[in-house]
Amino acid sequence: MNAKKRATVADVARLADVSMMTVSRAINHSPGVSEETRARILKIAEEVGYRPSQIARGLATRRTTTIGLLVPDVANPFFAQIARGAEDAAFEQGYSLFLINSAEDHRREQAALDALWQQEIDGAILCSARLSLDALRTYINRFPAVVLVNRDLYLQVSNTDTINVDDRQGARLAVEHLLEIGKRKIVYIAGPENSVSSERRLQGYRSALQMHKILAEPNWISHCAPTTDGGRAAALDLLQRMPAIDGIFCFNDLTALGVLQACREAGRSVPDQVAVIGADDIQMASLITPRLTTLRTDPHWIGSRAISLLVQRIHEPDLVPQALVVQPKLILRESA
């Protein structure tokens, strides 16, 4: 059959003719064992292939060395990079990572967080959480430590650090660039309704237009799924309803790719007739024709930094909460 029984501290203790505590101290490199005893125990542990059970250890210590990572969708390259950065850093620090896709769905997000809670994770990284502020606060209180990515709590919570992209400023940069190259009828394809980043970009979009005395009419803003198909459908619709559109600022690069497709299908040249700007600078952005002008942030860095903030807080819960703000950079390419 499979799965021969694994060795336990008791087994090692018996073989080494010491108590379980001495084995425990030896394998944890705790003080209080003589060097000879420790060496002898480690040798025996090695021989029988002993590995401590994290689950038993977790029950005894109330620490599981696991971290939960919530993202809307790992198949979105932006979050895939965050996940990679987080896992790289977690692995280095000896933590295992639970991955969860919220699938842009409140109920699933909540159910998944419940599951993480039951797994008794040491901390959670929540990316673009769509939960209501109240629900979010409840969950945050359940976890020993939390890092929020692209979400704010408005008031500091003692166990929570945040990493936010300055979406307002990013949107301002993008829209100002569109204005500079002479565009005036600039619409915003805004992604999901309940996205915090989307809302913040909307503010930047509005403020840039206002500076130029342009009022963004309500029908200049169109929500859609944060995917290529979502962007394509939204753009097709807008271009038909308002043929005079000359600039499109997009929720992310995925939607921007859909927008480029729509422009091709609708026979609009990019950037001459319609200039397009995305956000995230995923790899595809520089490979597509026309190459996509976009806002760059470094998601791998965000993922890895989120882990280091979280691990710090797990070990020192009383550190003062940090709120990191990351400035996006406008990368000028061909589409605008």
Where on the chain is the footprint of DNA (CB under 7 A)? 5-6, 8-10, 17-22, 24-25, 27-28, 31-37, 50-53, 56-57, 59-62
Could you write out the DSSP letters of every residue in 258-299? HHHHHHHHTT--TTTT-EEEEEE--GGGGTSSSPPEEEE--H
Tell me if 115 contacts a copy of itself by CB under 8 A.
yes
Q: Does 111 bind a copy of itself (CB under 8 A)?
A: yes
Q: If binding is defined by CB under 8 A, does position 94 make contact with a copy of itself?
A: yes
Q: How far apart are CA 129 and CA 116, in angstroms?
A: 15
Residue 50 burial by CB count (10 A; 0-12/13-18/19+): exposed, middle or buried?
buried
54 vs 207 by CB, closer to a copy of itself:
54
Spatial distance between the Cα atoms of 225 and 142, rounded to a whole number of angstroms: 31
User: Is residue 84 involved in binding a copy of itself (CB under 8 A)?
Assistant: yes
Size of the site for a copy of itself (CB under 8 A): 61
Which residues in the 236-265 window bind a copy of itself by CB under 8 A? Answer: 257, 261
Which amino acid, 145?
A
Contact 185, 242 (CB under 8 A): yes
CA distance 125 to 145: 9
Choosing from 23, 41, 89, 101, the residue that interacts with a copy of itself (CB under 8 A) is: 101
Please tell me whether residue 155 binds a copy of itself under the rule CB under 8 A.
Answer: no
Residues belonging to the chain: 336
Strand pairing report for 329-331 and 293-296: antiparallel
Give the whole-angstrom CA distance, residue 268 versus residue 45. Answer: 69
Q: Least distance to DNA from the beta carbon of 12, Å?
A: 8
CA distance 99 to 68: 6
Q: Which does 39 bind (CB under 5 to 8 A by kind): DNA, a copy of itself, none?
A: none
At closest approach, how far in Å is the CB of 164 from DNA? 34
In angstroms, give the least distance from the CB of 19 to DNA: 3
239 near 299, Cβ under 8 Å?
Answer: no
Choosing among a copy of itself, DNA, none, which partner's interface includes residue 144 (Cβ < 5 to 8 Å by kind)? Answer: a copy of itself
CB-based contact 192:198 (threshold 8 Å): yes
Residues 282-301 that bind a copy of itself (CB under 8 A): 283-284, 287-289, 300
Among a copy of itself, DNA, none, the one that 211 touches (CB under a kind-dependent 5 to 8 A) is: none
Tally the C-alpha atoms within 13 A of residue 247's C-alpha that lie toward its C-beta: 20
Q: What are the φ and ψ backbone dihedral angles of 7, each rounded to 5 degrees? A: -70, 150
Nearest to 99 by CA among 136, 128, 129, 73: 73
Binding piece for a copy of itself, criterion CB under 8 A, among 96-104, 180-188, 200-208, 212-220: 96-104
Cβ nearer to a copy of itself, comparing 7 with 179: 7
**Residue 10 sits in the site that holds a copy of itself (CB under 8 A):** no
Q: How far is the CB of 81 from a copy of itself (least distance, A)?
A: 5
Question: Least CB distance from residue 33 to a copy of itself, whole Å?
Answer: 21
Contacting residue, 10, 75, 211, 242, with a copy of itself by CB under 8 A: 75
Query: SS3 sequence, 161-197?
Result: EEEEECHHHHHHHHHHHHHHCCCCCEEEECCCCCCHH
CB of 119 to DNA, least distance (A): 12
Residues that bind a copy of itself (CB under 8 A): 1-4, 6, 51-56, 58-59, 64, 66, 69, 73-75, 77, 80-81, 83-84, 87-88, 91, 94, 96-101, 103, 108, 111-112, 114-120, 141-144, 158-159, 228, 257, 261, 283-284, 287-289, 300, 317
